[in-house]
Chain A
Amino acid sequence: MSAPAEYILHLADNAVVLGQRNAEWCGHGPILEEDIAMGNVSLDYIGQARLLYQLAATRLGGDATEDKLAYFRDETQFRNYTLLELPHNGPLVGYAVSDRDYATTVVRNFLYGALMVLVWDALEKSPDADLAAIAAKSLKEARYHLHHAADWLVRFGDGTEESHRRAQAAVDHLFPYTEEFWTPSVAEDAAVAAGAGVDVRSLRAAWDAIVNETLSEATLVRPQVRGYVPEGKHGRHSEHLGYLLGEMQGLARAHPGATW
Chain B
Amino acid sequence: MSTVVEQVWASLAHLTDPEIPVVTLRELGILRNVTETSDGVEVVITPTYTGCPAMGLIEDDVRAALVKAGIPARVITRLAPAWTTDWISDEAKEKLRVYGIAPPHTTRPDVSVVKFMRHRPAPDAVACPRCGSTHTVVSSQFGSTACKALYKCLDCQEPFDYFKPY
Contacts and interface: CB of A to CB of B under 8 A. Distances in A.
B22 to A, nearest CB: 22
Interface in B109-130: 113-114, 116-118
Contacts of A47: 49-52
Q: Chain A contact residues: over half helix, strand or loop, or mixed?
A: helix
B164 interface: yes
B166 A140 contact: yes
Given A40-B142, A209-B118, A136 B113 contact: no
A42 B82 CA distance: 20
Nearest to B119: A213
Contact of A133 (B79, B118, B146): B79
Interface residues of B, number: 28
Interface stretch (A62-70, A78-86, A90-98, A142-150): A142-150
Nearest to B48: A137
Contact of B80 (A39, A133, A150): A133
Contacts of A36: 140, 142-144, 150
Contact of B49 (A37, A130, A141, A213): A141
B164 A45 contact: no
Contacts of B51: 42-48, 50
B106 interface: no
Given A51-B79, A117-B113, A121-B113, A43 B139 contact: no
A45 B83 CA distance: 17
Nearest to A47: B51
Interface in A190-249: 206, 209-210, 213-214
15 contacts: A33-B139, A34-B140, A36-B143, A40-B146, A41-B142, A42-B51, A51-B50, A134-B79, A137-B47, A137-B49, A140-B82, A141-B50, A150-B117, A151-B141, A206-B113
Interface of A: 33-34, 36-37, 39-48, 50-51, 117-118, 121, 129-130, 132-134, 136-138, 140-141, 143-144, 146-148, 150-151, 206, 209-210, 213-214
